[in-house]
């Protein structure tokens, strides 16, 4: 009898076939694609030998779409139809977009579907569609260079991208015809590119990744232990980067030349382009000539450093929080890796080195390092290195939980938990005969619903009618390797279940992300007191409902009028206390009601026993 070989699901039947896979760094300013060829990971160049693809897309009236350098050349002349920095708009509302980086030269439209669109001469487009054009161009470059059909891609995202921003990135990739193996956090990709997973001297030590790109900033602390990269903590700002350096220089140019760009979009764009040119020149020289219109002047390193100092210090504040969240000391950090084109600025390298008390690693081109790491990971996921023991473990940036009765939040997965993760928790009903339950999914660090961000609501129906607290509803949170959340709810006695994949329309703004974490620390004591109060109020509601239910059933039979009034007076006192702002007051009122109702509880128990035994002989109950 012949033995037939069966391959693993999704894997090739040809064991030695090299599967073409790519890593893509979808950047705010520039994007790159990388792949592993002949055992070496490298970025792929276009027909002109250029590795960087400017993340700029231009739309023409005839429907033609131009991507990259040619589109970038039109930034100064065709503002409305030339879209740059689309990554900053992914997963955001119009109100958030307009506060990202001062004035923007685009006209945004909020459609019925709540997805912001940008007006162009070729029609309205979303940030997802703009990003997909960049990804299509990189995909075509890779197929032409590698000479075959791609099996899949790893696409990098800032570690602080939330569900909405990650989902928008995946949507753009699907629109471009790419099979996404996974989304990979940019700092983790950088560590892979430096081969830190292969260095024995950093095994079980902490590595800091400082990633300052064109439009986003991330800092991550990783620990490598026998081939496993574990992200200890993440931090950053999804709306801070080299574009902001350009912006402060542009404002300086406008002030020095005594010009205003409030109503002049072309002047603002010209100032931004000149600011970028000056910034890049000052990486290699101490002074540069600048001009804006007819005005001419000079701009030096000292002026530049003074302008960007508040922005760089903002990144160091995020570094300090990440170190604290990871519960490590700065002297425990073995390496600091610099990632992103904006880390070429000498002043950035200087301040980062001073903060971590060690010179950062800058050996690999900071523009290419993320794409190279993504290429290595794509090669692994394609199955080209089955013997590799490299494993990447990322974390979620904010806690995930559910609303419970009284407006409280029960955290199911805590912030900085390693993903992928599946975690379940049991809940129950609050009222008698409750046959449905609303599952309200929340994100954040506070104790009450109103202080956190709502992600989704869905209903579980068909719960058997039981007394309060008898039903057992198992709620399962599942976060995949891309950081996307699914929630499942099941009533265990009947098997009734429902689920939702959480895809919020918009992401959190940078100030909201930072603010949620800071607020949880600043209000920790108040939150504990607020939770005590809410829990006491929930207990009060239970006591009131139990009393009302009992009195409606048999108060006329078991109680005299004075006894009824005694219980009603205690009830009024509890209702009054429940509306106070003191948990101890509420708890004392509950105890007073329970004490007042002790005789009533005893009578009800005696009455129930008598009813149960009525018509039976005592010997029937003997064993």
Query: What is the DSSP secondary-structure string of 405-446?
Result: TTTEEEEEE-TT-EESEEEEEEE--SSTT--EEEEEEEESSS
Tell me whether residue 218 is one of the annotated catalytic residues.
no
Q: How far is CA 2 from CA 5, 270, 451, 592, in A?
A: 10, 73, 65, 82
Which listed residue (96, 186, 237, 335) is catalytic?
A: 186
Tell me whether residue 584 is one of the annotated catalytic residues.
no
Nearest 5 degrees, angle CA 296-CA 298-CA 302?
A: 155
Which listed residue (87, 170, 368, 578) is catalytic?
A: 87
**Residue 508 — φ and ψ, nearest 5°?**
-80, 145
Rg, C-alpha atoms of the chain: 31
C-alpha distance across the termini of the chain, in Å = 65
**% helix, strand, coil for the chain, step of 5:** 40, 25, 35
Residue 256, Cβ neighbours under 10 Å: how many? 15
CA distance 213 to 240: 8
DSSP one-letter code for 329? -
Tell me whether residue 327 is one of the annotated catalytic residues.
no
Please check whether residue 367 is in contact with residue 28, taking contact to mean a CB–CB distance below 8 angstroms: no
Q: Which of 115, 100, 94 is nearest to 215 (CA)?
A: 100
Which listed residue (25, 197, 379, 394) is catalytic?
A: 25
Please check whether residue 99 is in contact with residue 37, taking contact to mean a CB–CB distance below 8 angstroms: no
Q: Tell me if residue 526 falls in helix, strand or coil.
A: helix
Please check whether residue 336 is in contact with residue 210, taking contact to mean a CB–CB distance below 8 angstroms: yes
CA distance 583 to 559: 31
CA distance 221 to 232: 5
For residue 37, what are the β-bridge partners?
40
Residue 57, Cβ neighbours under 10 Å: how many? 25
Q: Which of 156, 174, 125, 300 is nearest to 220 (CA)?
A: 156
Please check whether residue 516 is in contact with residue 162, taking contact to mean a CB–CB distance below 8 angstroms: no
Tell me whether residue 87 is one of the annotated catalytic residues.
yes
Structure tokens at 476: 């399962």
CA distance 41 to 622: 81
Which listed residue (162, 211, 246, 447) is catalytic?
A: 211
CA distance 150 to 47: 19
Residue 327, Cβ neighbours under 10 Å: how many? 11
Q: Which of 8, 424, 354, 374 is nearest to 192 (CA)?
A: 374
CA distance 536 to 29: 53
Q: What are the catalytic residues?
A: 25, 87, 186, 211
């Amino acid at each position: 009898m012949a033995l037939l070989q069966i391959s693993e699901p999704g894997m090739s039947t040809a064991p030695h076939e090299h599967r073409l896979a790519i890593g893509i760094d979808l950047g705010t300013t520039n994007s790159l694609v990388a792949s592993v060829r002949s055992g070496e990971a490298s970025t792929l160049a276009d027909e002109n030998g250029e590795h960087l693809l400017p993340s700029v897309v231009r739309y023409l009236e005839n429907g033609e779409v131009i991507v990259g350098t040619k589109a970038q050349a039109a930034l100064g002349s065709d503002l409305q139809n030339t879209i740059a920095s689309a990554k900053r708009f992914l997963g955001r509302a119009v109100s958030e977009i307009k506060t990202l980086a001062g004035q923007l030269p685009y006209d945004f439209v909020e459609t019925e579907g709540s997805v912001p669109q940008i007006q162009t001469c070729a029609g309205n487009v979303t940030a997802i569609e703009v990003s997909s054009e960049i990804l299509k161009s990189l995909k075509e470059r890779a197929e032409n260079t590698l000479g075959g059909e791609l099996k899949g891609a790893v696409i990098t995202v800032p570690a602080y991208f939330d569900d909405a921003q990650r989902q928008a990135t995946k949507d753009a990739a699907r629109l471009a015809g790419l099979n996404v193996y996974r989304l990979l956090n940019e700092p983790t990709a950088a560590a892979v590119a430096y081969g830190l997973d292969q260095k024995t001297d950093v095994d079980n030590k902490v590595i800091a990744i400082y990633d300052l790109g064109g439009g986003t900033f991330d800092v991550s602390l990783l620990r490598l232990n026998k081939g496993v990269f574990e992200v200890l903590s993440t931090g950053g700002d999804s709306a801070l980067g080299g574009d902001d350096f350009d912006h402060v220089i542009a404002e300086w140019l406008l002030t020095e030349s005594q010009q205003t760009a409030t109503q002049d979009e072309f002047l603002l764009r010209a100032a931004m382009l000149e600011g970028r040119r000056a910034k890049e020149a000052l990486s290699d020289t101490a002074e540069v000539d600048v001009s804006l219109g007819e005005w001419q002047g000079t701009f030096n390193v000292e002026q530049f450093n003074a302008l960007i100092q508040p922005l760089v210090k903002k990144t160091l504040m995020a570094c300090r929080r990440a170190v604290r969240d990871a519960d490590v000391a700065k002297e425990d950090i073995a390496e600091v890796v610099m990632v992103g084109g904006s880390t070429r600025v000498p002043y950035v390298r200087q301040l980062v080195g001073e903060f971590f008390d060690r010179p950062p690693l800058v050996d690999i081109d900071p523009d290419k390092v993320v794409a190279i790491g993504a290429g290595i990971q794509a090669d692994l996921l394609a199955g080209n290195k089955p013997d590799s023991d490299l494993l990447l473990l990322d974390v979620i940036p904010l806690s995930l939980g559910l609303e419970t009765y009284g407006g409280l939040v029960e955290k199911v997965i805590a912030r900085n938990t390693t993903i992928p993760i599946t975690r379940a928790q049991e809940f129950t009903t609050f009222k008698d005969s409750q046959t449905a339950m609303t599952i309200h999914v929340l994100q954040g660090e506070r104790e009450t619903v109103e202080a956190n961000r709502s992600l989704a609501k869905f209903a579980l129906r068909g719960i058997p009618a039981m007394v309060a607290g008898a039903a057992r509803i198992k709620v399962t949170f599942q976060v995949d390797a891309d950081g996307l959340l699914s929630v499942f709810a099941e009533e265990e006695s009947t098997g009734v279940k429902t689920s939702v994949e959480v895809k919020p329309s918009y992401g959190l703004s940078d100030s909201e992300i930072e603010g949620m974490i800071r607020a949880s620390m600043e209000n920790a004591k108040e939150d504990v007191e607020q939770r005590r109060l809410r829990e006491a109020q929930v207990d009060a509601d239970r006591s009131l409902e139990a009393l009302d239910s009992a009195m409606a059933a048999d108060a006329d039979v078991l109680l005299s009028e004075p006894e009824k009034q005694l219980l009603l007076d205690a009830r009024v006192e509890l209702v009054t206390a429940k509306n106070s702002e003191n948990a101890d007051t509420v708890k004392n009122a509950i105890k007073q009601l329970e004490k007042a109702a002790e005789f009533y509880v005893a009578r009800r128990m005696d009455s129930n026993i008598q009813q149960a035994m009525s018509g039976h002989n005592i010997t029937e109950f003997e064993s």
